[in-house]
Chain A
Amino acid sequence: MNRIARTCAMLASLVAAPFAATAQDWTPPGPITLMIGFAAGGGADTQARLVASGVEDKTGWTILPQQVTGNSGLNLAKELSTAPADGTVIGMVVSETLAYNAVIAGDPALQAENFTPLATTAAFQMGLIAVADGRFSTWDKVKAEAEAGTPIRFGVATERQADMAYHFGLETGIPFNIVSVAGGAEIMNGVRAGDLDIGWVAGAQAKAVTAGELVNIATAIPTPLAESPDAPSIVDLGSEFYLDGYFMFIAPKDIPEEARVALAQAIADVASDPNTQAGALIQRSFGGAAVLTGAELDAYIAKGVQDSSQLLEAIK
């Protein structure tokens, strides 16, 4: 009976899949390993773990979170690329891992086409920050200081941010001194301590901006920043590209379509429901969920890969 039922279910799913696969069609064949590409205890790690427990509550699946950090998410990509493609191993990274970082690393095994993007949860609230009452608190002041010959120290946290800062400098005619540090929090500390003048921060600056301590002198994403809706965008100021990105879940290449749909839907539901702990965190830190799935997400990643190649070309 059981076997017949299972066969029926399988047949049903095979028939249904091409049209509209839904969450009910698929249950994982075992516990799901969730690789987290961020340092334990940080904001992104917390988000990943809360989404995992939200999905567990919602679906009854078992999810085992595990840290696979290092190399800007590429260590995770490497490990995920050889994991079983049955929906039992997924990972959380940022979109630039599959786009910019994969392109620059050049390893064919790590390129975006070797992975299945599942769902994004939140978009970077990327701003160019400075101390609110300092010498660099508006773009005009930055330009004036640069014209006066002051070296401007620009804090960045990833390779892509560094290259974007360089590109931004080329387009605006300001030769920034680009300083790589460990993360957004460290950029904020550097700006506060006077070790840095300006820098990219992807959302952690929200509270300090609201409190009037720091200021977003420009936005690096296509949509206005929640705390600083009037900040000019870097594209208005001369850049050819935005520095946007998402937190996202990915799976190995060629996982069954129904698994992709079920996983993506479960993650998306948890992330966009502010009543879950994950949803509340995303609401607090990023002003709400930003969910892309399926073809829309594939297209975003493809655009990201294309932009990355163009950026690399532009700064050659």
Chain B
Amino acid sequence: MDYVLLGIQSVFSNTAMFSVFGVGIPSCLVTLFLGLLTGIAVGATPGLAGPTAMAVSLPILISVFGVRPDALLPVFGFLIGVMKGATVGGAVPAILFNVPGTPDAIMTTLDGHPMAKRGMPRRALRIAHFSSVTGDTASDIVLFVCAPFLAIMVERFLDLPEKTALIILSLTFISSVMGSSVGKGLIAVALGVLAATVATGQTFHPRLTLGIDGLQNGFPMVSAVLGALILGEIFVTLNDIWRGERQASTVQSSHGDVADGLQKGDLRRIMPHIARSSVIGTLIGALPGVGSTLAATLGYTVGRGIHKRRKRPEDPDFGEGAPEGIAATEAANSAVSGANLIPVLSLGIPGNAAAVFLILAADSIGGFNPGPAVFNFTRPQINPELVVAFGIFTLMALGNLLNWTIGGAFMRAMSVMSRIPIRLLLPIVLMVTLTAIYIQDTRMAALWITFGFGILGFFFRRLDIPVLPFVIAFILAGTLENTARQAFSATGGDPFFLFRSATSVIFLLMAVAIIVFLGRRKGHGAAATHPN
């Protein structure tokens, strides 16, 4: 309990950035607010998503706040703001122009846009906002409650060999659920682990560097992650534009005489859908690697089935502008974001791109290592990492509060963002990303490495290999190797340390089962959609 108070206190007693009427405004509240606005704006811009904004802003934030431990909360504040803002903002162009601002808003176009076309864009936006923020808040509450308990359970019941097996299980799961086929996911994970082994390890002679001096510290995490995720995406988009494949269709909404804005009974109608989708989103979010797009699809599909049976005859169907459709989608995709931090904070395993950037931030600044050790309730000595964790929870709660109050108004003002042509946007993002990397790592080698990973990311996308498993494997490979090495030596050099306890054998069997089961199902799914 003391830690909860300390966490809240750490947010409010953070270094004052400026003062209003003699009251110092803590810098992490300022960054949270700015992050939220940025996130909504970025979410509302088709072609940009939350992770891009987080990637670009992270190095800038680090150069502003430095790498001292008290920089953690302001930087996290901004990133959390972006994360929360983007989930809300993605619905804007989806509703107004039938163009999803973020990938997980695809299902929002199905009902949001028809409703806007019938002359009720404000009503659609308000429903989207309300559902999104409610789903997000619900999932955050689950995070606050579950993460500490899960972490404590892991520390109490899992020894080093079981932790190794757990990481293997997580990587297998991530590689199997992301992307079109299990095999491609496994390729991505294997390449990520391979890239992470360069120049790491324990000897004084860095391995796999081919004698190149620029590699004697290995691939810097910032270069590798931003290269594969951001540059790769930029290259693909440029390639598409060059081949003339990317034409966004913007349908103008016709304003009729229909009464706009929230209508009486709307909230009562959508509440059950929000509640159900929040549960779906939270459950999916808690599994690393599944992602918000699946949550949105699932929330929408389940909602449609129930709506069909229960709706009154005069109500619109899903797909014709039903408020329930917007609610079911938006609540589900937003509920993912909070729950996604459960594996990050309690196990150190990132489940989506946003979580990757939170880990990247923690890694660059230092002083906070996401993982079960964060939740050591030591006493009377204060565990600073735990204070940071509760500081993060406080920031998330405040972020929700801001989202409730000002998010809606700001969101409705953001429709202008979707008119920015992508060919102007991309060079800016590219330049800011490269500058940002150079700020953090002032070697030309870092930029070459970034380009290298960018090209790799390009081919991944062209070959339909998922990029995120590659990045997550790159981040987790070090932990996996160290835990395995430690487990090996702690058991006195037992080569079968993974098979000595029931727990780790169960984890490994689950990993095998996932590959077999999902591999078969995905194979069937592909055969069904592509009969050839």
Chain B 480-498, CB-CB to A under 8 Å as 1, else 0, gives 0010011001111100000
A51 partner residues in chain B, CB cutoff 8 A: none
In the complex, are the beta carbons of A179 and B155 less than 8 A apart? Answer: no
Of A41, A180, A213, which contacts B378 at CB under 8 A? A213
Q: Which of B395-417 contact A (CB under 8 A)?
A: none
Q: Which of B248-256, B269-277, B364-372, B421-429 sits within the interface?
A: B364-372
B452 at the interface (CB under 8 A from A): no
Q: Which of A26-34, A83-91, A190-198, A231-239 sits within the interface?
A: A190-198
A104 at the interface (CB under 8 A from B): yes
In the complex, are the beta carbons of A182 and B204 less than 8 A apart? Answer: no
In the complex, are the beta carbons of A71 and B482 less than 8 A apart? Answer: no
- Complex CA gap A39/B364 in Å reads 10
A18 at the interface (CB under 8 A from B): no
Chain B 133-168, CB-CB to A under 8 Å as 1, else 0, gives 000000000000000000000011001100100000
B506 at the interface (CB under 8 A from A): no
Chain A 41-84, CB-CB to B under 8 Å as 1, else 0, gives 11001100000000000000000000001111011000000000
* CB-CB under 8 A for A196 and B367, given A40-B67, A70-B217, A182-B482: no
B247 at the interface (CB under 8 A from A): no
In the complex, are the beta carbons of B366 and A41 less than 8 A apart? Answer: yes
**Closest B residue by C-beta to A192:** B376
B206 at the interface (CB under 8 A from A): yes
A contacts, CB < 8 Å to B = 39-42, 45-46, 69-72, 74-75, 101, 104-105, 151, 153, 159, 175, 177-182, 186, 189-190, 192-196, 207-208, 211, 213
B178 partner residues in chain A, CB cutoff 8 A: none
The main secondary structure of chain B at its interface with chain A is: loop
In the complex, are the beta carbons of B486 and A180 less than 8 A apart? Answer: yes
Name 7 interchain pairs, CB-CB below 8 A, sorted by A.
A39-B366, A41-B366, A151-B490, A153-B490, A178-B489, A196-B490, A208-B381
B contacts, CB < 8 Å to A = 67-69, 155-156, 159-160, 163, 199, 202, 204-206, 216-217, 364-367, 372-373, 376, 378-381, 482, 485-486, 489-493
- Complex CA gap A46/B71 in Å reads 14
* CB-CB under 8 A for A75 and B217, given A180-B202, A193-B155: yes
* CB-CB under 8 A for A104 and B204, given A40-B67, A177-B491: yes
Smallest CB separation, B203 vs chain A (Å): 9
- Complex CA gap A130/B160 in Å reads 18
In the complex, are the beta carbons of B490 and A41 less than 8 A apart? Answer: no
- Complex CA gap A281/B17 in Å reads 26
- Complex CA gap A40/B205 in Å reads 22
Of B163, B366, B379, B490, which contacts A179 at CB under 8 A? B490
14 further interface pairs, Cβ-Cβ under 8 Å (given A72-B204, A104-B204, A207-B381): A40-B365, A41-B67, A41-B365, A41-B367, A42-B367, A71-B206, A75-B216, A105-B205, A159-B202, A180-B489, A181-B486, A194-B156, A194-B159, A211-B381
Smallest CB separation, B139 vs chain A (Å): 28
Smallest CB separation, A101 vs chain B (Å): 7
Which 7 A-B pairs rank lowest in CB-CB distance, beginning with the nearest? A41-B366, A105-B204, A189-B373, A40-B67, A153-B490, A193-B155, A177-B492
* CB-CB under 8 A for A195 and B486, given A70-B216, A75-B216, A207-B381: yes
Smallest CB separation, B140 vs chain A (Å): 27
In the complex, are the beta carbons of A74 and B486 less than 8 A apart? Answer: no
In the complex, are the beta carbons of A193 and B204 less than 8 A apart? Answer: no
**Closest B residue by C-beta to A42:** B366
B489 partner residues in chain A, CB cutoff 8 A: 177-180
Smallest CB separation, B51 vs chain A (Å): 24
Smallest CB separation, A57 vs chain B (Å): 18
In the complex, are the beta carbons of B206 and A151 less than 8 A apart? Answer: no
- Complex CA gap A227/B492 in Å reads 32
- Complex CA gap A298/B154 in Å reads 48
- Complex CA gap A72/B365 in Å reads 20
Smallest CB separation, A219 vs chain B (Å): 21
Smallest CB separation, A66 vs chain B (Å): 9
A195 partner residues in chain B, CB cutoff 8 A: 159-160, 163, 486, 490
In the complex, are the beta carbons of B69 and A41 less than 8 A apart? Answer: yes
B216 partner residues in chain A, CB cutoff 8 A: 70-71, 75
- Complex CA gap A175/B489 in Å reads 12
A193 partner residues in chain B, CB cutoff 8 A: 155-156, 372-373, 376
